[in-house]
Structure 1
Amino acid sequence: MITYMHEAYIGKAIESVLGQKTNFQVELVVGEDASSDNTRGIIEDYVRRYPKRIRLIPKGPNVGPQQNFTRTFLACKGKYIAMLEGDDCWTVPHKLQKQVDFLENNPDYAVSAHNLSVINAAGKAINDLIRPEKIPTTYTLENLAIANVLLTASCIYRNTFTAGPNPTGLPDWFVHTKIGDYCLHMLAARHGKVMYFPDVMGAYRIHDGGIWTRQDDSGRVIMYFEAIYYLRKEFKGEVKQKLLKQLLDCLQMLSRMDAIRLDSFLLEYKTQMLDLIMEDYSLVMKQLLHSPQHLSTARYSWIKQIRYSGQRIINWYKHH
């Protein structure tokens, strides 16, 4: 569990973990990132009351959400790792037992997830389901490479990261990505399939303090682009191509949403764009030029430069 400035919600989150009915031991590892409110004080009170069930990461300076996420995740040593952020909660007491039972009985699966309801800051339902549409119960790595369909508070991973005979840890780039959950889904799914239960067993809270909620639409697309850019380094073949397609879709969406934002984005991410151009020059250029009527002078000049340098790099590789 990671948490920051969740004074109003953290008690509910912790209680929803302590209320789980299981035939196995559960350790709650909490990473609190130097909140200025009473979030840490509330957690420390729970630690005093449940010292054998809750472990709080030692106090330190604020490190930001992804570093906090990384250090907390790597501190988990159980056979399975479940995730719950400090402003969300689980809503049924048999959630962990149901998911772990499935993974225990199906060794070809590496991840278990389920549906969530959506609540507001006061805990009232905003809508019934995050995934109301009919979706498959089993996902593969190839399915996940098309889009992020799993929800953080619902996931349990078979712990190939910090436990077992050959723990992998996390890639060095992981601490830099702003959407760590999707990256974890993909990294875990290298080791097996994903089971999705349609049961609503938790709640995702939307409030003004949420990292994702604070972003506008174009900001979210850029965060997603950054995550997939790092993630694609881990894969080859069909999966890598599907991730590349997602990156190109991000460029298209950004162009439609905010042409000015796209201009500054292209200037900031020159290195990454050259990397993508070397992956598939024709697809990338088509995506950048899909709406020529909206191209600014700066972006058109930039694209001409990238077109030249990108093609030059590709020609060099063809002859070497």
Structure 2
Amino acid sequence: MLKEKVALSVLLVSYNHENHIRQALNALFGQVFDGPIELVVADDKSTDSTLSIIREYEGIDSRFTFKYLDYSENLGITKNYKRGFNACSNEYVAVLEGDDYWVSPHKLSRQATFLSEHWESDVCGVNYFVYEEDRAQLTPRVPVSTGHRFITARELIADNIIGNFSTCMYRRSAFARLPDALFDIKSYDWITNIVLARTSVIGFLQEPMSVYRLHTAGVWTQTPHVEKLKAQLDVLPAYDELTDGVFHEDFELLASRLRHVITASQIGHVAETVSQPVIRAVPTLLNFMPPILIVVIKALMPVALKNLIVRVVKRSRSV
């Protein structure tokens, strides 16, 4: 348990979630958490009653203060997240998307406790259930267990078990490491967490505490599996560039696997699951360094030398 009260920000991201937002808010307001909670509402110009429902919760719990971001313009999900991260004021930041919900009343307190006890982690995720609306079925993302484990950036590239923002709590200070270019492309939880895991390890609590909803009528849910794989393949070069080529071999290995699955699917073969265990790419020296050592080296290295090394590495890969 937390030894002292900490101030927490919760970033509530919503867009036309009137059918689900009450379930999300009830789960949030039911959290067993002693400290003050800043609720940052990043609504992306909903055209339904989402905002009206959110306002109904004002004043019912003294722990909460509400901060509404401008909702006069539809920004799109990536830029909406950028302004949401920037608007959060407190040391720890949890994210809740308006169509997801939490199933453990201790989610926030357990994640905040974890971050307070593990300086080496800037991100704490939790196991979660995938809820298929058409089948009314809950399936854990990974086998249910207790305790925690640590996840590296390379492991996250091979299998995004963190899965979605609603499972995550961050140190607010870590957002300063997110490059502006990340918000100029389709960049969701996966690449955000990969970038942050370059200089820290991700803590993962193995008990399911969140629910990710698969909408029957959702655009992404209805997208054919092969098209989803192609979309993932298309963003990998940009993700490789965002991480300065440090994980180039890992992204190349993933791209090769995706192309294989896409080809197998198109010729009618049964494609293997992309998330199954794979042989890792050949590691580089950076992969063996503790995250904190990378931080120290980067801090002490002259900028000119750092830029020279980056140019040499890129030139060697282009040969």
Aligned partners of 1:34 and 1:237: how far apart in 2?
Answer: 36
Alignment-mate amino acid for residue 157 of structure 1: Y
Measured in 1, the distance between the counterparts of 2:173 and 2:239 equals 17
CA-atom RMSD in angstroms: 2.9
C-alpha distance in 1 between matches for 2:127 and 2:212: 10
Alignment of 1:225-240 (within 5 A): 225-236=233-244, 239-240=247-248
Aligned to 2:253: 245
* Structure 2 match to 1:17: 28
Any runs of at least 4 consecutive aligned residues in structure 1 with deviations exceeding 6 A, and if so which?
A: 133-136
1:30 counterpart = 2:38: no
**TM-score, length-scaled by structure 1:** 0.71
- Structure 2 residue aligned with 1:61: 73
Aligned to 2:222: 214
Check conservation: 2:41, 2:67, Cα contact below 8 A: yes
How far does the alpha carbon of each residue in 1:198-221 deviate from its partner, in whole angstroms, 9 at most, with x for none? Answer: 211111112134453132212211
Report SS of the residue matched to 1:46.
coil
Which residue of 77, 90, 104 maps to 2:89? 77
Among 131, 136, 156, which residue is 2:169 paired with?
156
Note the 1:73-112 alignment, pairs <5 A: 73-112=85-124
CA 1:225 to 1:90, structure 2 compared with 1: closer, same or farther past 3 Å? same
Distance 1:63 1:251 in 2: 32
After superposition, what is the alpha-carbon deviation per residue over 1:177-235, rounded to whole angstroms, capped at 9, x for unaligned? Answer: 1x411011112212311121121111111213445313221221133224432221133
Q: Does 1:131 align with 2:142?
A: yes
Report the number of matched residues. Answer: 257
Structure 2 letter corresponding to 1:110: D
- The correspondence of residues 271-286 of structure 1 with structure 2, limited to 5 A, is none
Secondary structure of 2:129's aligned partner: strand
Q: Over residues 67-104 of structure 1, what are the superposed CA-to-partner deviations in whole Å (9 max), with x where a residue is unaligned?
A: 22222223223212222211110111111111111111
Equivalent position of 1:293 in the other structure: none
1:202 is the counterpart of 2:210: yes
Higher normalized helix content (fraction of residues): 1
In structure 2, relative to structure 1, the CA distance for the partners of 1:214 and 1:50 (3 Å cut) is: farther
- One-letter code of the match for 2:149? T
- 1:297-316 → structure 2 map (5 Å cutoff): none
Which 10-residue stretch deviates more, 47-56 or 204-213? 47-56
How far has the Cα of 1:169 moved from its partner?
A: 4.3
Which residue is equivalent to 1:192? 200
The Cα of 1:128 is off from its aligned counterpart by: 3.7
Report if the CA contact (8 A) 2:91-2:171 is conserved: yes
Match of 1:119 in 2: 131
Q: 5+ residue gaps in structure 2?
A: 1-11, 268-314
1:50-72: CA deviation from partner (whole Å, max 9, x where unpaired): 69522221122222222222222
Asked if the contact 1:74/1:169 (under 8 Å) is kept, the reply is no
Q: CA deviation digits over 1:103-156, x for unaligned, max 9? A: 11110122211111233449x851341212789822112222322121222111
Moved more, 211-220 or 108-117: 211-220
Whole-angstrom CA distance in 2 between matches of 1:42 and 1:170? 34
Higher Rg: 1
Report the equivalent of 1:5: 16
AA aligned to 2:48 is: D
Residues 240 and 79 from structure 1, CA distance in 2 versus in 1: closer, same or farther, beyond 3 angstroms? farther
Percent of pairs with identical residues: 25
Stretch deviating more after TM superposition (49-58 or 16-25):
49-58
Unaligned runs of 5+ in 1: 260-313
